[in-house]
Structures are given as C-alpha cells and as structure tokens.
A and B are shown apart, each in its own frame.
Chain A
Amino acid sequence: MNNLLVLPLLIPLCTAVLLVFLARHVRLQRVISTLSGILNIGVAAILLAQVKREGIQTLYMSGWVPPYGIVFVADMLAALLVLTTAVIGLFILLFSFRSIGEERERHYYYPLLQFLLVGVSGSFLTGDIFNLFVCFEVMLISSYALIVLGGTKVQLRESIKYMLINILSSALFVAAVAYLYGVTGALNMADLAQRVEAAGQGGVLNVIAILFMIVFALKAGLFLFFWLPGSYGAPPTAIAAVFAALLTKVGLYALMRTFTLIFYHDHGVTHTWIGVMAGATMALGAFGALAYRDIPRILNYNVLIGVGFIAFGLAAATDDSLDGAVLYLLHDMVAKGLLFLLGGMIISAAGTKQLSEMGGLIKRHPSLGWMFFATALAIAGIPPFSGFAGKLMIIRGGFEDGQYTLAALSLASSFVALYSLLRLFMAAFWGEEKPEPAVEKEPKRASDPWRLLPAAGLFVLVVLMGVGAEWIYEFAREAGNTLAQPSIYIDAVLKEE
C-alpha cells in the first residue's frame, strides 16, 4: 500500500477542477498549471525512485484487496511512463503560453490539458481492465474537446472523424471486456492473467485477444491508422504535440501490458499478428513520409513509423527486444513531442505548410534549424542521440527471434524517416530565402525565446537520454524484466498483506 500512487492522477485532476473556476484569469491559470506541472514531475520522480528501491508499488483503493477492488500498480514501466508524461506535459504547457492564443486559453484550454494528463497517467497506473477503459475515455473526451477547440473548419471536419473512430473502438473495447468477463469472470489484470493461464489460452481466449489487439491497434495507430494523419494535422501545434507524444503511446502501452501479462501463451497467433501489423505500419508510414510535401503529413507519418517500431519490439518478445521497446517508447514520446513543436515553429516562421513554398529559413532562425536537424538525427537513431540504444536493442532482439524481414523493414523505415526529415530540413532551411510572411504580425515570432525554450528543454532531454543511455538502461531493463516475467507483476499485486 502506497498512497503516492494516486497523486499523478490527483494533482492534475484537482488542478483541472480549480482551473475551471478561473477561466477568465489567464495569468492565474498559467501560474497554477505550471506549479502543478512541476509538482507532478516531483511526485513522479519520487515514485520512480521508490519503485527502483523497493520494487513494484501497489495501492488498493479503499483498502479492498484485489481481485475485489480497483488496484493501482506502479511497476517500473508505468513509473517511467508517468514521469515522461509529466515532463512532456510541463514543456508543452510552457510552449502553449506563447502559441495557443488568448481566445483558446479563455475557453478552458488548460483544464482540458490537465484532464488529458489525468487520463494518460491513469491508464499507465491502473491494474484493472475496466478502469483502463474509463481512463481511456477520460483521455479521449479531453482530446475530442482539444482537437475541436477553436472551431476552425478543418478542426470541425477532422474531429468528426476522430470522434467516430474512437467511439467505435471504445464500443469494441467494452465488447471485448464483456467477452473476457464472460469467459474468466475477472476484471483485475493480475487475476485475469492467472485465470487465462489456468484456462489455457486457445480457442475463444485467442479470439478475445485478437479483439483487444484490434481495439488497442485502433488507439495506437498500429496498422489501423487511417484516421491519424488527417486528425493530427488539424489542431494547433501544442495540441498536436500532446497527441503525438502521448495518445498513441497509451495504446501501445495497453498493447504491451495485455500481450505480456495476460495473453502471452500463444505467441504463434497473437505475436505473429502484431509482427505483421508492425511491419505493415512501418512500411506504410514510410511511404506516407516519402509521399507528402507538407509538414504536418510528414510528421504524422513519422509518428506511425515509431509506432510500428515499438510494436516490432513487442512482437519479437525476447528480453532484449522488450528492453529496447521500453527504451524506444520513452525516446519516442519525448522526440515526437519535440518534433511537432519544431514543425509548428517552422510552419509559423515560413507562413506556409508546403515545402515548395519555403526556403532559406536558416538565416533568420539558426537555432530552430539546427535543433530540427539534430532531432531528425535522434529520430533516425544516429548514435549520440536518444533513438539509437532503443533501436539497437529492438533489432538485436528481432535477430535473436529470427525475424529478419521485420528487422530489415525497420532499418529501412529508419532510413526513410531520416530522409523525409532531412528533406524537410533542406527545403525549409536551405536554398533561396523567401520574403518574410505577411501573416506574422509580431516580427520573428517563431524565434520568440519563450517558444524556443520549452523545445530546447525537450531537446536537452533527447541528448541526455542518448548520452546517459547506460543510466536509463538500468531502469528500462527492470521494466523489460517485469514484462518478460509476468509472475513478478502478478505476485506483487495479489500478495497477501
């Protein structure tokens, strides 16, 4: 029992409720949400240290012992992800101060952002499958409101599709929970894991596993990603960055959790399918990144390449590849958040989304340019930066598992990711200088230090994660270890007090 576990949920929740009452006072909203963000990082760091020191932490809500009550579980993976979420949340919040605009700030932007963080942290920490559904919904409903906030035509059009696809996948999620409850009679994940093991996975349990796979793949943009490139291009930069950094990763986390803890007995069926979907996602994401000439599309398809990569790590399911998947997941959250912030700044600096209409930005925005360049290298996995260690481990795990095709695909997709981002860099920053866009009212808005600083903060993190990979690997290995041996998780949750 450890009451600290509920704080990553409770802090943003209380902040959000408080901010609803302060909608008119933009300054005050900013101060309060910054303070709560810092507090949240502190709590998450303490939680991580505790998990490192004492092993998996659990909290039984109202003292009801599992499987009867809802339980919150912080293993190493959940603790790492909660900390990463808190950090990204704070940096993107700081970025929003100068980019989101007063009109949106007055219309509950900050409370919605906090509610989104509630849903994300809750999904990472919960140990109950129906509670996971509820946390998903908290996250999704905030994201519906955020994606349409402002009400431009593109946003209205795209949010309809985004909502529809998520309503569908939520309905399927409930159906999957219903089937699983019908077969096992349990909702607690550790209890479910034991019961599925006892019943022997096969037949109907495999069908349910595939249904869960479809649900989480829809949320994560794994193969069933047709909704993603359009919807992530619609909202303003800060919101798109939150989505790219956090939302798909929650789906991936749910996939990792269910297919390492509950449905891991029949690799031939489930993990083969995940592998096929991962391969298809990497290939199609690479095609998309090559095909388009506008910044949002290129970045959105790069999100997909990352998703496919992590799913490949899960599909190979060796010790190395699971460690690598955790490492790469952490890197990908930070790097994609950063990439979207930089992309948004490039768009506002050039005054256009089209690569063909921009050029020569390096003279006016040198720091933005070189930061984007380095981020592109980090995403491709060039050694001094953060993407390298995770990719190396995933591919090594893939080789150990004999998945040579997928490993080759993932290397090729890294190459394409690098090519597409460097093409963006060259088109935007090199070449003939285009006249300053007329729509930019304040001169040099994109070089505004208060917008560059949060991005620079995330960038420092990307570099540190690369240079200090050894240090982070210690944590990732422990997380991967819990994934590889579900009994550690089950024993920690169902132990007699």
Chain B
Amino acid sequence: MELYMSLAIGVLFTVGVYLILSKSLLRIILGTSFLTHGVHLLLLTMSRLKTGAAPLLGEKADAYVDPLPQALILTSIVISFGVTSFFFVLAYKAYQKLGTDDMEQLKGEDAHE
C-alpha cells in the first residue's frame, strides 16, 4: 500500500513542480496546492499505513492507527490554507495594480516602474 501511495505522491510532486515553473501566477498557486497535498499525504504514508481502528478510545480495538501524524497534518493543513488564501488575495491585488499575471513581466529590475 505504501508503494502505491508513494507513486501517487510522486505524481503530485511532479505536477506541482511543473505548474510552479509555468508563467501564469494562477497556475503557480495551483502548483503550490498540489505540492502541499503531496506533502500531507507523505506525512500520512510515512507513519506506515497499517490497519487499525480510528484513534478513538471508544472504539475499544486491539490496534489503533498512529494518531500523531494526523495531528501534524491537521496543523499543516490549516497553515497552508491560511497561506494559500493570503496568496490568492495577493495575486488578485497584484493583478489589479500591476495589470498582469505573467511572471515574465513581473521581473525584478526596477526599469518598468
């Protein structure tokens, strides 16, 4: 099972990197979302996907899944959610004010101000 998950995560990373390297800002933001999805699945996978009950003591099972990565993922999800929403608004503002979403035209030198 871990093998399939690793392959899927690999695909997510690939797609994420490919999108981040593109010119349009919106694609870049989508790329970062793919990347964070991949990372969260990686956290889940790296704690071994053994079968067990959900980590609720009421289940009274013999074995539970590892509860720690789930807490880490939950933390990381809300952080990346906050960051992504900020990034979206930033991209919107930048589009309004700079009039482009093409990274080529957002190059660093101060020539075009």
Q: Does A430 lie at the interface of the complex (its beta carbon under 8 Å from any beta carbon of B)?
A: no
Which listed residue (B28, B35, B46, B47) contacts A171, Cβ 8 A?
B35
- Contact between chains at A159 and B46 (CB < 8 Å): no
* Most A-side CB within 10 Å, residue of B36, B39, B45: B39
How many Å lie between the Cα of A134 and that of B82 in the bound state?
13
Chain B count of residues within 8 A CB distance of the other chain: 36
Chain B nearest Cβ from A301, distance in angstroms? 14
Extra contacts, 12 of them, besides A159-B90, A181-B46 (Cβ < 8 A), are A137-B79, A141-B86, A156-B90, A156-B94, A157-B108, A160-B106, A161-B108, A163-B90, A171-B38, A174-B36, A178-B69, A181-B68
- Chain A residues, Cβ within 8 Å of B90: 144, 148, 156, 159-160, 163
Which listed residue (B25, B35, B110) contacts A160, Cβ 8 A?
B25
- Contact between chains at B79 and A157 (CB < 8 Å): no
Chain B nearest Cβ from A488, distance in angstroms? 28
Interface readout for A167-190 with B: 1 if CB under 8 Å, 0 if not? 110110011011101100001000
Interface readout for A121-161 with B: 1 if CB under 8 Å, 0 if not? 00000000010011001000100110010010110111111
* Residues of chain A whose beta carbon lies under 8 Å from any beta carbon of chain B: 130, 133-134, 137, 141, 144-145, 148, 151, 153-154, 156-161, 163-164, 167-168, 170-171, 174-175, 177-179, 181-182, 187, 230
CB-defined A-B contacts under 8 Å, sample of 5: A144-B83, A159-B90, A167-B83, A171-B39, A181-B46
Interface of A is mostly: helix
Chain A nearest Cβ from B113, distance in angstroms? 6
Which listed residue (A134, A159, A171, A181) contacts B36, Cβ 8 A?
A171
- Chain A residues, Cβ within 8 Å of B45: 178
- Contact between chains at A154 and B113 (CB < 8 Å): yes
Chain A nearest Cβ from B4, distance in angstroms? 16
- Chain A residues, Cβ within 8 Å of B46: 178-179, 181-182
Which of chain B's residues has its CB closest to A148's CB?
B90
Residues of B44-101 at the interface with A, using a CB-CB cut-off of 8 Å, are 45-48, 68-69, 72, 75-76, 79-80, 82-83, 86-87, 90-91, 93-94, 97-98
- Chain B residues, Cβ within 8 Å of A187: 68
- Contact between chains at A168 and B86 (CB < 8 Å): no
- Chain A residues, Cβ within 8 Å of B28: 164
Which of chain A's residues has its CB closest to B43's CB?
A178
- Contact between chains at B94 and A134 (CB < 8 Å): no
Which listed residue (B20, B42, B72, B94) contacts A168, Cβ 8 A?
B20
A-B pairs with lowest CB-CB distance, top 7: A182-B46, A178-B43, A178-B46, A156-B94, A230-B108, A174-B39, A178-B42
Which of chain B's residues has its CB closest to A172's CB?
B39
- Chain B residues, Cβ within 8 Å of A157: 94, 98, 106, 108
How many Å lie between the Cα of A133 and that of B39 in the bound state?
14
Q: Does B14 lie at the interface of the complex (its beta carbon under 8 Å from any beta carbon of A)?
A: no
Q: Contacts A168-B32, A178-B46: A144 and B113 contacting too (C-beta < 8 A)?
A: no
Chain A nearest Cβ from B71, distance in angstroms? 9
- Chain A residues, Cβ within 8 Å of B87: 163-164, 167
- Chain A residues, Cβ within 8 Å of B48: 182
How many Å lie between the Cα of A175 and that of B72 in the bound state?
12
Which listed residue (A153, A163, A181) contacts B69, Cβ 8 A?
A181
Chain B nearest Cβ from A330, distance in angstroms? 30
